[in-house]
Structure 1
């Protein structure tokens, strides 16, 4: 389940405080399931919820939400673009003091895996998400590095 590690990396890379305090960012997975295809194809899909906890965070929730949404744009774009999915990202805030809070994010994801056998060795290849994009989308303008209007 590679997406959990990628989310942690994105939070740390996307926020100065997180880069200075990576030990305060904890990521784990819950509610893991697998789904196989009836097509006979040697593939399956993990579905799970990533939980990301930032403890004693001194910034605004937006300072974490923006790198999280950038990661969603790359790794799970259906959560932003599909009306049936775009309310599934959740978070909780526990106010610790006037200056800090703990933030817990929950992001439901899926991860496709193709299974192959070469020379008697069975391997699993995790597929990247297809670039399901909408032309002239505001999300693309904000999060796509190739976009001229990139603000992230």
Structure 2
């Protein structure tokens, strides 16, 4: 599943000690389900809890949290909606310098199924649509938004 590899890369990129010793980051999936509909396409989605165990971490846990939140912003933006927990974690303090951290994040991954010429199917993990707008574009990719030239409040110009 594409999101697992992508999240691993984001955590490792934020944590140089894991880049040097990648075996200290272990990931596994549990509580997985498959959601499928009886449609012509045959496409389906996974919903699962991804567990990431980082052993003997000396980097501040906030660095890991920031990396995951930035990753969620693009790859699972609904986790950051009001009322949702982005992820859960447990920390085992080993000594004054190191901890073991278990991070659990609920993810979904859509899979597109397309028939191939001559038989068989192609399965493709579907990327999430980018939830972030380009600041230079208008809504829906329209012409660029003009710069703010003035504000009026109660019929009076407000100085910018």
TM-score (normalizing by structure 2): 0.76
C-alpha distance 51-118 of structure 1, shift in aligned 2 (>3 A): same
Distance of 1:66 and 1:18 partners within structure 2: 16
Q: Indicate the residue corresponding to 2:25 in structure 1.
A: 25
- Give the SS at the match of 2:109: strand
The equivalent residue for 2:71 is 71
Does residue 4 in structure 1 map to residue 4 in structure 2? yes
Deviations 1:50-102 (A, max 9, x none): 1001100012111211111121112111111x224x31510000000111000
Could you state the TM-score of these two structures normalised by the residue count of structure 1? 0.80
Q: Which residue of 2 aligns with 1:98?
A: 96
**1:15 and 1:67 in contact (8 A); partners too:** no
Kindly tell me the number of residue pairs found equivalent between the two proteins: 134
Q: Distance in 2 between matches of 1:121 and 1:38?
A: 18
> How far apart are residue 19 of structure 1 and its match?
1.3
Secondary structure of 1:74's aligned partner = helix
Note if contact 2:52-2:104 (Cα within 8 Å) is conserved in structure 1: yes
- Max radius of gyration: which structure? 2
* Runs of 4+ with >6 A deviation: none
Root mean square deviation, CA, Å: 1.8
